[in-house]
Structures are given as structure tokens and as C-alpha cells.
Structure 1
Amino acid sequence: MNSLSHGGGMLNNGLPHWLGMLERMTGRKLVSVVGQAQRGREQAPVLPNGHDCRQVRDTKISSQEAANMEWRTCDGEGSFSALFELSLLESKGESFVPVMMRVTGGIAEPVETNGWYFYGDQGTLVGRGMLSLSLSKTVNSQTNSLPTPEELIEALPQVGDIIQNIWVALVIDFIADICHQPYQHYLTFRDGWRYQVAIEAIRQGTGWTQIAE
């Protein structure tokens, strides 16, 4: 959870999912990114059998127990902010939509500002949340709530909780693909590589970085 060498950090664990959802819901492709990340904590105790992040998150230890544990230095980020440019799938580079994402991990729950901010000519569309989404539109400092688009609701299978529904949607498209049937684009190893380029650009703070489509 807190070690980059073990796959920890907010960017490794969250950003590939969020970018996949962002591209799927908007029908646009990520083409460039700039951002920065902040380390979550300096040190943390090493918990036994910490292979399931859900168990680690729910584990409570006392100050006395923590004092008797092994402590290690943490290098995984606990928050980040980034500005992305999205292009239409058929665009030749002339049309971009700027989208800002802010994510901060809290002790209990993420803060309210977590989410996406789409900047347009007539206002800002705000999508609050990470795995669930609430929408609002801000124009001239006035914010109005918006319903979730029906096509997004109808496209998501309703067989269990939100996590199971997302996985089922992926499986449906994958099976249709290998059976040579019509399907929606789903995440591939190439997308994982593209998102890793974005992760490193944010983590290293290297400035504007182009992302291959």
C-alpha cells in the first residue's frame, strides 16, 4: 500500500481504473498530461499477512502495538492532482478537452473534492467520486446537480455491487471480442502501458507529457 516497489501508491492503485473509465465514458482518448503527486506518509508499521488491501484498511492497532512493530519508510503517494487533455477519437489533434483530476486519500473516506473537472466554454462539469459518480454543472459560480446519463446506467450490468458490475461489463466485452461479435472497446495491455506513461509523468513532475493514442 505504501511502497512503490510493491505496487503501492495512489497512482498505481487508482489511476489506471479512473483513466479507463474516463476514456470509456467520454469516448475520447488521453493525449497529454501534467501533474504532481504528494507522498502520503513518511513511515508506517509493517502489518503481518498484508496481501489484501481490504484487510489492511480494516485492521486497527493500538499505539503500543505499533511501537513494537517493524517500521519502514514509505514512498507511495497518498494524493495527486493532474490536468489531462482528451481528444476526440477521430480528431487529428485540433480539438482537446481539458480535464483536471484531484484525489486525496483520507484516514476514513476521501475528501469531497475528489473527482473530475471538465472545463468548457460555458461552464465546468464536475464529476465527484471515484468508483461511483455524482454530476453537477457550474456556471457563473452557481452549481446545479445533473442526473447520470441514462446510456451509462443502461450499459452497466446490474448483477451485484458496483465493483462486480464493472468486472462483468469487462467480461462481456472480452467474450464478445474472442467470439468475433460486436463489442465495446475494453482495456488492453497497450492501454496499461499508456496509463503507466501518465503515472510516471505525474509522479516525476516532468511537465507536459504526450501520451500515444
Structure 2
Amino acid sequence: MSQNLRVLIAGTGFAGEGHAQAFRAAGAEIVGMVGRTPHVVEDVAERLGIVYAGTNWAEALSVCAPDIVSIGTPGGAHFEPIQQAIEAGCHVFCDKPMTESGPTAVELRDLALAKGVKTAYAASYRYTPSVQHARALVAAGAIGEPTEIECISHFNLERNIPFGWSHRRADGGGRLNNNFTHTLSIACAVVGEKILSVMGEVRDDLGRAPIVEGVHNFATRRDFIPRDLDDPTLQWGESDAEWSYTVLARLESPMARQPVSVLFKHGGLVPRFHEDHIVFYGTEGAIYIKGHYGSRELFLHGADGDWQEQALPDGIAEGLPDVSGETELCWHLLARDFVADIRGEPAPPYPTFREGAEYQQIIDIIRENAGWTNVAGLR
């Protein structure tokens, strides 16, 4: 494998741009970008200094001959581009959700294994500095045996964000695909990757959203909320994705004699009163991290019986890229590990399509509002 790795980006929005910057920082060459709308992909590619811009993915694979493809489009648009890229022998970096369903994710995972290409799955908030710190503390025995995890978040999202992929299951929408994927990854990163069983309940408490043209970047969709929601000419789209969920899970941990109990509670449309947070409880202490993805201050409850804020260890701080934004930072760290692994350099384990397929199958199960379901045997 050449050290000058060539990357083709799918997507012109927040994720596509973020992936391009992350791979450049990792030392790869961005050789092309593909989007849906000609003038949008041309404008974004020019601004980012990317020579090739197009709207035909198969053509871009042929012309650009990438070593890696990076998928930064909504989850419902992932399957065919990833399938084509794997068939072309490309390694694949894919944002969450991996696809719109468990069966399609499993199919891509198996195809990647059969073709011998490497994959990375960007449920990537496990890379936030405080989550890395929590993982080190738990591994060092700071809270004894882990017993319980609590992941609580309330986003109070605007109900009239324009109708789009986030409202439709078939397009990869829903809060499980776009929030739970991260918190599940965080819990697994800290206490253990083996998920034993899950149960859950989901709710669509939105119903509908206004249809507005011109929204190309997920990060700026709020700017397109109509001023007059009572306009009789305004069209509305019906949501079929969950905006709230409650999930229970049991994880096997090499650091505990019993399964670790996990509560994932998320309300996409309701306001928070206290901080969103993630807490890791153990037999001898606890770790509390502020923020819905554990990206803020970390506190340790130890033998002295009090919560004490902990400074980020130098070893973690020194390994962080110089980039603003927690999402961007996590993409940079995952891309760095992925590129190193492809080059044959030492790299720590990172999430792959194995986790992506497992998470999509678990999401399918949770959406059935079923009771406890054994997921340890998911293929």
C-alpha cells in the first residue's frame, strides 16, 4: 500500500467537509468529492481545494481511483456507494448510522470481510478526551468493578426544522441512529465491547415538519425554519422516526464479575433542567462526565466520599489534534487510527463495520418495543 493514500469523499455537508479535513490531517490526499447537486459539490470542492467534483459515484470511483472512500451522507444513502467502493477494493470510513437497517449493514460487513478491505465506523464520540480519561480510570480500578452506567440527554430540538432525512427511518433518521449509536459506543469503549442483551421503547412525539427547499448542510438546517408556520401554502412531511427513546442494556466487562447495567435515556424534543451527563458507577466509586457525549468536565467520587474534578492527564492531552469542535476532534482521531492501520503502522483498535452491523441490528430490535432480547449471538 502506497503511503500517499488517496481519499474520495461522499457528501458535501458538515460530515463530508469534516471527513475531508480529518483525512488531510492524517496525511492522506483528498482526490475527489461527490454530491447530489452540481453547483453545491463544485462550490464546496473549490473551497476545500479538491480537484475533482462530481455527482456520479461510480464515475468518481473510476476516475479518482481512491484507496479509501469516506461516506458522509445520510444513512439511507450509504448502501450502494459502500457496496460499489468495496467491490472496487477501497477501504471504507463510514459515518453513523452504517445503513438504514440491520440486514443491509450485515451485508456490507460480510462483503468487506470477503473482499479483505478495512472499515471504520464513526460512532466516534468514544474519542472525546473525557471518555478516554474515564476509560483509563476504570481500567486502573479507580471505581472498582463497574456495575452501572447512566447516559442521559435532552436536546430540545426545534420542532419545525425542515423535513428531511432525519425524519425518515428509510433515510437513516431517528434518534437511535444519530444519538444512541454514540452513547452505546461510549459505554462499550469504557467497560467492555460485548453487548449481552437489550430492551427498549421508542416514541415519535414530533409528527410532522415543514417541507422547505434548499437545505444542503445538516448543521445549518435551523436557518431554514419558515417564518410563517401558518402559511396555507406551506407543505408538511410526516415523520416516521423516533424522537425519544429509553433503552436498557447489559454489557459483559472483563473488569466485573457480573454484567454491567446500562440506562440510555434521550429526549430529542424536550428541554433539560440539569446537565446532560454520563455516569459510570462501580463497587468502590463513580465517574461523572458532563455533556450528552461525555465531552466536558470529569468528576471522580472516590474513597473520600466526595466528587472531585479531575484534570485531563498529559498523556491524553498531548495526543489530541489541534482542531475546534468535539465532532471534528473525534473524526480526526478515528481517521488517524484508520490511516495508520491501512499503512501497516501500529494503531489501537477502532470501531469497524462489525460494530456498525451489530448496532444497526440492535436498533431494529429496540424499535420493536420488545422485552429483553439476547443479542450476544448476533452475527
**Normalised-by-shorter TM-score class:** 0.7 to 0.9
Higher strand share: 1
Query: Residue type matched to 2:356 in 1?
Result: G
State how far apart, in whole Å, the 2-side matches of 1:157 and 1:81 are: 33
* Structure 2 equivalent of residue 130 of structure 1: 292
Q: 1:171 to 1:210 in 2, by over 3 A?
A: same
The 8 Å contact of residues 279 and 287 in structure 2, kept in 1 or not, is answered as yes
Further displaced range: 167-176 or 14-23: 14-23
1:188 deviation in Å?
0.9
1:69 deviation in Å?
1.6
State how far apart, in whole Å, the 2-side matches of 1:155 and 1:201 are: 40
1:167 deviation in Å?
0.8
1:106 deviation in Å?
3.5
Cα-to-partner distance string for 1:3-60 (whole Å, 9 max, x where unaligned): 1122111111222222223322334432221111111311111121334221213333
1:172 deviation in Å?
1.6
3-state SS of the aligned residue for 1:69?
coil
Q: Is 1:68 the equivalent of 2:233?
A: yes
Q: TM-score of the superposition, structure 1-length normalised?
A: 0.79
Match of 1:45 among 200, 210, 230: 210
Query: Residue type matched to 2:320 in 1?
Result: P
Match of 2:347 among 183, 188, 212: 183
The 8 Å contact of residues 43 and 72 in structure 1, kept in 2 or not, is answered as yes
Q: TM-score of the superposition, structure 2-length normalised?
A: 0.47
3-state SS of the aligned residue for 2:321?
coil
The 8 Å contact of residues 83 and 100 in structure 1, kept in 2 or not, is answered as yes
Runs of 4+ off more than 6 Å: none
1:113 deviation in Å?
5.9
Query: Residue type matched to 2:363 in 1?
Result: I
3-state SS of the aligned residue for 1:168?
helix
Further displaced range: 202-211 or 162-171: 202-211
1:190 deviation in Å?
1.3
Runs of at least 5 residues in structure 1 that lack an aligned partner in the other structure: none
1:211 deviation in Å?
2.8
Please identify the structure whose Cα radius of gyration is greater.
Answer: 2
Runs of at least 5 residues in structure 2 that lack an aligned partner in the other structure: 1-165
The 8 Å contact of residues 244 and 269 in structure 2, kept in 1 or not, is answered as no
Q: 1:209 to 1:49 in 2, by over 3 A?
A: farther
* Structure 2 equivalent of residue 13 of structure 1: 178
The 8 Å contact of residues 198 and 372 in structure 2, kept in 1 or not, is answered as yes
- What count of residue pairs does the alignment treat as equivalent? 208
3-state SS of the aligned residue for 1:100?
strand
- In percent, how many aligned pairs have the same letter? 27
Q: 1:17 to 1:155 in 2, by over 3 A?
A: farther
- CA RMSD after TM alignment: 3.2
